[in-house]
Structure 1
Amino acid sequence: TKIQVGVLAGVETLWESRETSRGQDQDELIELLVREVNAARAARPDAVAVGLGIPATINQERGEAVSAVNLPMLNLPVRDVVSERVGLPVFLDNDGNVAAYAEYLYGAARDRPTMVMLTIGTGIGGGLILGGEIFRGATGAGAELGHVVIQVDGPPCQGNCPNHGCVESLASGTALGREGHAAAESAPDSALGKVLAEGKEVDGLAVTEAALAGDETAIGVFDLIGSRLGVACSSFANIFEPEVIVIGGGVIAAGDLLLDPARKEVRERALRPMNETPIAAATLGNDAGMIGAAALARTELLKAG
């Protein structure tokens, strides 16, 4: 689990620290988080609130994670525990939500108050901004966009998701690596095939590097992944009629090799005028979550008066 802590004024980072936790249990992870926040406070005593974005389904009323694939914080009142330990108000949300909020305020969806964001990594996170507000559903657990089914007989999803054929299982970074490995086996003379022959791992990064270098096999993998992504985006376009769909995460390094197939699917599958919904690359990179969490804390603090 990567932990990124910063003190921010808008998009300006006044202080920052990055840590990686490996194998920690719940108590150890909280200790690491509190230690990093306290270090931020020591460096910038003018910090007035804490925003937390975590990869989990959040119950907003209780301020706790109720479902998570890779986070040992289930049913722990994270918001209140951290607030008590650091002596500041804490505002908790899903990491996809805060990344979307950042892109809406400062990034690819600036001045577009109705937007959808997908963050593609090991899985697929998502966030919805509707009318300039984060949409969370009835209890705060909504907008799990990565678990929209695009192939009912597809591969099983990850973690505690009971579905098959979720867009996460078919178009995530994990899926990119899986399809890349299969393509490498089928095309031993390709750049990907040579990576495999050398005993190296054919993961998402290897597929991206090969595609950007012009390897047709790797480009074909991105065409497949992008098309699957576009099927999901077509549904999001029809349901929400967003002003833009923003795609972020590590695989966005492939740029239009990923986005063009997705755009094609939206043009062909979505109803008019939603089939004209633009799909844009995120612009805030790995800082989106940190920026959005800080912005959320500021917004909620102002609301509270």
Structure 2
Amino acid sequence: MRGGVIGVDLGGTKLRAGVVDDAARIHHRTHRLAQGLDQPALLATAEAAVREALDASGEEVSAVGFGIPALIDPRRGIVTFCNHLPLDGLAFADVMSERLGLPVFADNDANVALLAEHRLGAAQGTRSALMLTLGTGIGGGLVLDGELYRGPRGAGAELGHIVVDLDGPPCPGKCPNHGCLEALASGTALVAEAVRVASLRPESGLGRAVAAHEELTGPRVSELAHAGDAAAREVVTVVGRRLGAGVAGLINAFDPEVVVIGGGVIALDELLLAPAREEAAARLTAPVRGTPIVAARFGDEAGMVGAAVLARESAAQRAAAA
């Protein structure tokens, strides 16, 4: 396939795009806020980000790939459920293709992140792999027998919405559940736990940040935890244990060769993964107790890389079928 491809990671709060080469290097990154936008504004923002990357690259681009936090009907290409953005009922790829004048391909954001890790990253060479992306929510991706599993309605591997606590907090957005893994171990859940602990530990770094009227965000909690603040580390450990409990259930169900953790929250690295592994190990059956739980090779950029992989592979398949 001639020309470069653009990968776009459209999340619940922000959008990132870039030109991605064959070696998964990202060039000409662009960034936009996505939170709180209505559908027309969101589509215009996505178009502007892609056009900025196109203009900056100065090269021919043959296709654009999007990872979006949504379920997409595989037959019709219509968004059937989007928890955090106003995309329900939209033929997203078709609409963006018309706006951009380029072939556009779209899939669930966690699916494309796992596509990157399976083709080029931490799950490369495996026949079965599971991925969770921790950001505003929790996305899930699953490779079975070497192929990405989407399900007959495009709703497969919504792993963030497994219930791990019947009496847990309500899941944000349109999900009707309480106690979803997303409600307990996402970036949003991390911040909620940090706010709770800050109110109980006013002498801590978290407490002082709140007293100084700082906005507690995931990156700020991560910064405090890496700096050694005991309260912030306590928060991360709690969230890590919740993550581990959810991962254990998924490993017991699917027996993957590897579990990959990505998304913005993975900036916490071993502060998060160590308690997650410990909790998971205590809950796993003997045959799967050694299943690796690892950080995404592409970190928080797996979505952009995977969206580009989607565009490249889908465009090649379309050309071969023509």
Same fold (TM over 0.5): yes
| 1:120 CA drift (Å) | 1.0
1:26 aligns with 2:27: no
CA contact (8 A) 1:15 1:44 kept: no
Other-structure match for 1:67: 81
Q: Secondary structure at the match of 1:28?
A: helix
2:241 counterpart residue number: 227
The farther-off stretch of 166-175 and 293-302 is 293-302
- Aligned mate of 1:184, from 198, 201, 207: 198
TM-score after normalising by structure 1: 0.92
2:61 match: secondary structure: coil
Q: How does 1:54-203 map to 2 (within 5 A)?
A: 54-203=68-217
AA in 2 matched with 1:129: V
Residues 1:251 and 2:265 aligned together: yes
Whether the aligned pair in 2 keeps the contact of 1:180 and 1:204 (CA below 8 Å) is no
Deviating above 4 A after TM superposition, structure 1's stretches of 4 or more consecutive aligned residues are: 38-45
> Which stretch shifts more, 66-75 or 2-11?
2-11
Which stretch of the first structure deviates more once superposed, 18-27 or 237-246? 18-27
RMSD: 2.0
Query: What's the CA shift for 1:45?
Result: 5.0
One-letter amino acid of the structure 2 residue matched with residue 28 of structure 1? A
Identity of aligned residues (%): 48
Partner of residue 236, structure 1? 250
* 1:296 maps onto 2:281 in alignment: no
Q: How many residues align?
A: 305
Q: What is aligned with 2:3? A: none
C-alpha distance in 2 between matches for 1:204 and 1:89: 35
Q: Bigger shift: 284-293 or 142-151?
A: 284-293
Per the alignment, in what secondary structure is the counterpart of residue 276 of structure 2? helix
Q: Which whole-Å CA distance do the structure 1 matches of 2:207 and 2:27 have between them? A: 45
Please identify, of 268-277 and 159-168, the stretch whose mean Cα deviation from structure 2 is larger: 268-277
Whether the aligned pair in 1 keeps the contact of 2:160 and 2:182 (CA below 8 Å) is: yes
Cα deviation digits, residues 139-182 of structure 1 (max 9, x gap): 11221111010001111111111111001111111211121222
Alpha carbons 2:67, 2:303 under 8 Å: kept: yes
* C-alpha distance in structure 1 between counterparts of 2:268 and 2:180, whole Å: 22
**Unpaired runs of at least 5, structure 2:** 1-12
2:10 maps to which residue? none
Aligned equivalents of 1:183 and 1:14: distance in 2? Answer: 40
Query: Partners of 2:25 and 2:144 in 1: how far apart?
Result: 25
Given that residues 266 and 300 in structure 2 are in contact (C-alpha distance below 8 angstroms), is that contact kept between their aligned partners in structure 1?
A: no
> How far did residue 37 of structure 1 move?
3.6
TM-score of the superposed pair, with normalisation by structure 2: 0.87
